[in-house]
Chains A and B, each alone.
Chain A
Amino acid sequence: MKPDHLNLPPRLRGGRTAKRWEGQTLPASAPSVADKPRHLPRKQGRRISWKPILSIGSPLLLLIVWQAVTAFKLFPPEVLVSPTAVIAAFGEVITTGELQRHLSESLTRLAGGFTIGASLGLLFGLALALSKTVERLFGPTFQALRQVPVLAFIPMLILLLGIDEVFKIVIIAKAAFFPVALAAYDSVKGVPKSYFEVSSLYRAPWWVLISKILIPATVPNILAGVRLSLTRAWLVLVAAELIVADSGLGQMMEMGRQMFRLDIVMVGVIVAGVIGFALDRLFQLLQAHALRWKTA
């Protein structure tokens, strides 16, 4: 990210010179926020064009090392397949439609479980922060339960729910629930008392307090929680599918392993990584949007 001052019109670059406001109003010719676009065209130096190369550098290096290791046959090919074999397997699972089918199964599950878990987490976190009674009743249980890794619940949940769809949805919802609940709780609790005082001083109506003060004050942190919960849910989903599932990306990998098709396992690993990365970036953009005033 660029430092703020690159985007600012000169008058807005801070500093405390007294001269600037000696007159009651600014001279009409003075550049101001009103008559200048806030985002001045960025000067793109040569350095910036190197950035994409830098960020693809490490995957490229990984690929080269991988290819070299397989070319020199440091491991038997059944254990470590070559990148070219993986590319071939990619073509195979795409043409048979296998990848698309498993992936859409996984993403549907993710959407269901994540939506349920994150919404419940948001509601619970808000209730916990806003009501002393709810906090007293559920606070300690919440703090204890969130310390238990999701995967530790799998055996118990299998006994209770079987290995059907409900089980997978519940496990994803559980994974999504806690980061959002915690973020909602913390960010509401963390709203400074001074915000309420200013609101009270100007007798702002409650809907103004909520929409103009509380939501902007808490949403960026809640979004960070949602982002964490989404990537967690994805990790847990793939892991759960590896253990028990009849479809989904994890199951595709598990089948590949059982049939000694490590090239297909590698396809699964790469797709899982790319999807996780994409989901994370998506939320990062949302977060940046919520905090756009910071870089304005």
Chain B
Amino acid sequence: MDYVPHSQIPGHKSRQTGAVSLKGIKKQFNFKDRELKVLSEFSLDVQPGEFVSIVGPSGCGKSTLLRLIAGLDDTYDGTITLDGQRVAGTSLERGLVFQDHRLFPWMTLEDNIGLALTNRNIPKDAKAKLVADHIALVGLKGFEKAFPHQLSGGMAQRAAIARSLVNEPKVLLLDEPFGALDALTRVHLQTELQRIWLAQGSTMIMITHDVEEALYLGDRVVVMQANPGRITHTVDVNLPHPRDRASPVLHKLKDEILAELTHVPEPSNPVVRLIKGDDQ
């Protein structure tokens, strides 16, 4: 794989931990006496500190996949490991941002973020500092005492990102984190997320419906198809971060992925590596 390791990308804090490995994941739901195959033979290796974007049609099992990695659902076949350790249940090492912000409406912003620290055995003032630092990190200083209904959609989503980052997870899973936002807010939050990723160096796996977003942020874009959910393409995006949105390489890759997503894939050729764009 001729893909540039993160240690070589300028500005990226290199990490030795945060390798996620998915091997032969099979997941099915029993729905009205029928077995619904949601994921079939899903395998993916994510390097420490890598940013992987996942795109795919609605219902192909993307959210299900993230829930399995997060440990919210333990009923599946196959193995999921983080740094060689099999995942079991939830852990503070694996953070998850849901599509909806899921802040508790009766808690202030700082209490919502503080909730993520209730299982940490650290002094109170250290917790308060972590909360304040992460509120500043997502640019919400001054809103510590605001309730979620007093925040705009974009602000609430940033608060949710701050909450998921406060434990400095080795891997952050993002399920369409900007899906409900307007185009302008999305662009800003993408830049923010990239800045945070470069600063923290954690592994990120992000689901999105937006191919442009997937390419702008991802070191790799994984394309899925439905029934059952599986990987049909993997696209390496060999450009340094932060990227130029207008890059012709991104545009070329976008056209290819869109063509793939709007096409019925050939089952005989499940994994096709698309050509990687030359640097600049």
User: Residues of A with Cβ closer than 8 Å to B?
Assistant: 4, 8, 11-12, 14-18, 20-26, 30, 32-35, 38, 194-195, 197-205, 208, 212-213, 216-217, 293-294, 296
CB distance from A8 to the nearest CB of B (A): 7
Contact at A212–B139, with CB atoms within 8 Å? no
C-alpha spacing A37/B116, complex, angstroms: 27
Q: How large is the interface on B (under 10, 10 to 19, 20 to 34, 35 or more residues)?
A: 35 or more
Q: Please give the distance in Å from B101's CB to the nearest CB on chain A.
A: 10
| In the bound complex, CA of A11 to CA of B182 (Å) | 19
Binds A, one of B1-9, B149-157, B235-243: B149-157
Contact between A21 and B154 (Cβ–Cβ < 8 Å)? yes
- Expressed in whole angstroms, the minimum distance between the Cβ of B153 and any Cβ of chain A is 6
Given contacts A14-B152, A16-B153, A293-B105, contact A33 B90 (CB under 8 A): no
Q: Is the CB of B182 within 8 A of A16?
A: yes
Quote the shortest CB–CB distance from B63 to chain A (angstroms).
12
- With A21-B154, A202-B115, A202-B119 in contact, do A33 and B145 touch (Cβ < 8 Å)? yes
B150 and A296 contact, CB distance less than 8 A? yes
Residues B163-221 near A (CB distance < 8 A)? 163, 167, 181-182, 184-185, 188
Given A16-B152, A21-B188, A33-B142, residue A293 in contact with residue B106 (CB < 8 A): yes
Instruction: Name the CB-closest residue of B to A201.
Output: B90
Q: Are B104 and A32 in contact, CB atoms less than 8 angstroms apart?
A: no
Report the separation of the CA atoms of residues A292 and B145 in the bound assembly, to the nearest whole angstrom.
14
**Residues 88-110 of B contacting A (Cβ, < 8 Å):** 89-92, 95-96, 98, 100, 102, 104-107
B183 CB to closest chain A CB (Å) equals 10
- Judged by a CB distance under 8 angstroms, whether B30 is at the interface is no
Asked if residues B102 and A198 are in contact (CB atoms below 8 Å), the reply is yes
Residue of A21, A24, A202 near B155 (CB, 8 A) is: A21
The answer to whether B142 touches A30 (Cβ under 8 A) is: yes
- The verdict on B141 contacting chain A, using a C-beta distance below 8 Å, is yes
A18 and B115: CB pair below 8 A? no
> A18-B185, A22-B188, A33-B144 in contact; A202/B150 too (CB < 8 A)?
no
The minimal Cβ–Cβ distance linking B234 to chain A, given in whole angstroms, is 28
> For B106, what are the chain A residues with a Cβ–Cβ distance below 8 Å?
216-217, 293
| Consensus secondary structure, chain B interface | loop
Residue B70 is within 8 A (CB to CB) of chain A in the complex: yes
On whether the beta carbons of B118 and A200 are closer than 8 Å, the reply is: no
**Nearest A residue to B187 by beta-carbon distance?**
A18
Shortest A40–chain B CB gap in Å is 13
Using known A-B contacts A200-B72, A203-B91, A293-B106, determine if residue A8 contacts B150 with beta carbons closer than 8 Å. yes
CB–CB A32/B142 < 8 A: yes
| Chain B residues with a Cβ under 8 A of chain A | 70, 72, 89-92, 95-96, 98, 100, 102, 104-107, 111, 115-119, 136, 139-147, 149-155, 158, 163, 167, 181-182, 184-185, 188
Known A-B contacts A24-B139, A25-B139, A200-B72; A294 and B145 likewise in contact (beta carbons under 8 Å): no
Contact A14-B150, Cβ < 8 Å, known A33-B144, A198-B102, A216-B104: yes
Cα–Cα, bound, A8→B92 (Å): 35
Residues on the B chain within 8 Å of A208, using CB? 115, 118
With CB as the reference atom, state the residue of chain B lying closest to A30: B142
Distance (Å) between the CB of A19 and the closest chain B CB? 9
Q: How far is the CA of A20 from the CA of B144 in the complex (A)?
A: 16
Report chain A residues within 8 Å CB of B182.
Answer: 16
Partner of B152 from the list A15, A202, A216 (CB cut-off 8 Å) is A15
CA A294 to CA B98, docked complex, whole Å: 23
Chain A residue at minimum C-beta to C-beta distance from B137: A24
Chain B residues with CB under 8 Å of A38's CB are 145
Q: In the complex, A21 Cα to B156 Cα: how many Å?
A: 12
CB distance from A150 to the nearest CB of B (A): 34
The 10 closest A-B pairs by CB, nearest first: A32-B142, A203-B119, A12-B150, A202-B116, A33-B145, A18-B184, A216-B106, A208-B118, A25-B141, A16-B152
Q: A213: which B residues are within 8 A, CB to CB?
A: 104
Task: List the B side residues contacting A11 at CB < 8 Å.
Answer: 142
Selected from A16, A203, A212, the residue in CB contact (under 8 A) with B92 is A203
Q: Which of B89, B90, B136, B153 has the most CB of A within 10 A?
A: B90
A200 and B119 CA atoms in complex are apart in Å by 10
- Cα–Cα, bound, A18→B146 (Å): 19
* Chain A residue contacts of B89, Cβ below 8 A: 200
- Of listed A16, A204, A208, A294, residue having the most chain B CB within 10 A: A16
B139 touches A23 (CB 8 A): yes
Q: Which residues of B contact A32 (CB under 8 A)?
A: 141-143
Q: For B149, list chain A residues within 8 Å (CB).
A: 4, 294
Q: Which residues from chain A contact B92 at a C-beta distance below 8 Å?
A: 202-203
How close is A81's CB to chain B, nearest CB, in angstroms?
51
Closest to A216 in B: B106
Q: Is the CB–CB distance between A205 and B119 below 8 Å?
A: yes
Q: Which residues of B contact A201 (CB under 8 A)?
A: 70, 72, 90, 95-96
Given A18-B184, A204-B118, A294-B149: A26 in contact with B141 (beta carbons within 8 A): yes
In whole Å, how far is A210's beta carbon from the nearest beta carbon of chain B?
12
User: Does B142 lie within 8 Å of A195, measured CB to CB?
Assistant: no
A294 to B140, CA, bound (A): 20
Taking A21-B139, A25-B139, A203-B119 as contacts, is the C-beta distance between A12 and B146 under 8 angstroms?
A: yes
Question: With a CB–CB cut-off of 8 A, which chain B residues contact A217?
Answer: 106
